[in-house]
Amino acid sequence: MSTALIILAAGKGTRMESDLPKVLHSIAHAPMLWHAMRAGRALDPEATVVVAGHEAAKVEASALDYDPEAKVVLQAEQLGTAHAVAQAKDALDGFFGNAIVLYGDTPFISEATLEAMLEARQTHDLVVLGFDAADPGRYGRLVTQGEALERIVEFKDANEEERAITLCNSGVVCADAATLFALIDAVGNDNASGEYYLTDIIGIGRSQGLSATVVRCDESETLGVNSRAELADAERLFQSRRRAELMADGVSLQAPDTVFLSWDTIIGRDSEIEPNVIFGPDVTVENDVRIRGFSHIEGAHVSRGSTIGPFARLRPGAELAENVHIGNFVEVKNAVLHEGVKANHLTYLGDAEIGARTNIGAGTVTCNYDGVFKHKTTIGEDAFIGSDTMLVAPITVGDGAMTASGSTITEDVPAGALAVARARQEVKPGLAKKLFDMLKARKARQGKGA
């Protein structure tokens, strides 16, 4: 049966104290909304509807950035969760299948949990995701009898006996789409908040003879984010889980708590990550790579057998072939380094292509920006770039060519040639002593004047 996702993302998030919509605050370099959308995407949904409200244009832009096929609808007034889901009805006109309601500020629902809900839907009309809370607090309570879910009670409307229940409501619901919207049409707002609660559909459905049940998940999956402190908790949870997954898949993390990953970081088996490494978005590291300490990598691809760092920076567009060595205080941006290239010290390589086995000396800079345009540096195979070489792009250095240390190269260097571009050294005997004596005398006079 087909599946549709309805993701509620209309809230302002007052406790975030921010001009940014709550669901656009990031965990591991991606908006919370994307995490929720990715969880549901694993089900290969036929349709995804995002219900936006506060700063709807920003939410829509973010949702479409992740999934251009998503539909975004507006909840102009925030009148409760049932009212929010109702806004998706027209967008799903003609859809026949299961609808799952998710939340843009609840980013950690797992694929396995959602699949368990779909499986439960085969034998029940309504499926609710619940969790056993260590501290139930103000969560809504799930009132059950056996495997049947009788009703959901919001904390503010619950009596003492109901508040003693520890099985709590996550808010995630799965039902046939037509059934879901029919039940929502019957929801009223006669409650302590005067809102239309999505939770009321369980009691209404049961009164109509529909069956309902609960699928349980770990409490951590249902973590909702409503404040900066909770956002930090969510970041810690993501990082802890992802580090554990990588280590289980054969990646060595020397000091796991000091390595920070992006939501889309990919690292191959037998790679080793030293302490204090940060991964930004869009990074793929192949097998058997060593990332040394205090390196920062984003938007880069590192092939097997390479060594990066320590204190290296790979920026977007860095494409490193096998067995490349990038050393301390080397920065690579929008550059392709072919197999076996070495750049081990104090170097900037931007807007460049560097041939196999070429060695880049310490202090080399590709001078790629003229203040308006970026220009490309091309270096062939087996070249040797001497220390402190300035390569003023656009420029080409041929295969097997060499530049002398301290050169500023402004013209192409043919294959096999040596380029020397530096002023002739002159030695003035005794002049250093005269200059020092003169300067010291001036300093002494200034001191007496003070």
pLDDT tens track for 355-388? 999 999 999 999 999 999 999 999 999 999 999 9
Residue 450 pLDDT exceeds 60:
no
- Per the structure block, which two tokens stand in for 72? 């975004």
Please, which pLDDT band fits residue 193 given cuts at 50, 70 and 90?
confident
Percent of residues, the chain, with pLDDT higher than 90: 92
pLDDT tens track for 197-215? 999 999 999 999 999 999 9
Locate the domains of the chain by residue range: 3-222, 228-419
DSSP reduced 3-state for 149: strand
**CATH no. for 3-222:** 3.90.550.10
> Which one of 3.40.1190.20, 2.60.40.3880, 2.160.10.10, 2.40.50.140 gives the CATH number of domain 228-419?
2.160.10.10
How far, CA to CA in Å, does 176 sit from each of 96, 182, 212, 439, 446?
8, 10, 12, 88, 89
State residue 391 phi and psi, 5-degree precision: -105, 105
| Rounded Cα gap, residues 275 and 257, in angstroms | 8
Please, which pLDDT band fits residue 414 given cuts at 50, 70 and 90?
very high
Q: What is the pLDDT of residue 449?
A: 64
How far, CA to CA in Å, does 322 sit from each of 13, 168, 357, 375?
46, 51, 11, 25
Sign of CA dihedral 220, 225, 229, 232: positive
| Rounded Cα gap, residues 155 and 81, in angstroms | 15
First-to-last C-alpha distance (Å) of the chain: 90
| Rounded Cα gap, residues 1 and 96, in angstroms | 8
DSSP reduced 3-state for 60: helix
Average pLDDT, the chain: 96
Residue 276 pLDDT exceeds 70:
yes
Give the catalytic positions in this structure.
345
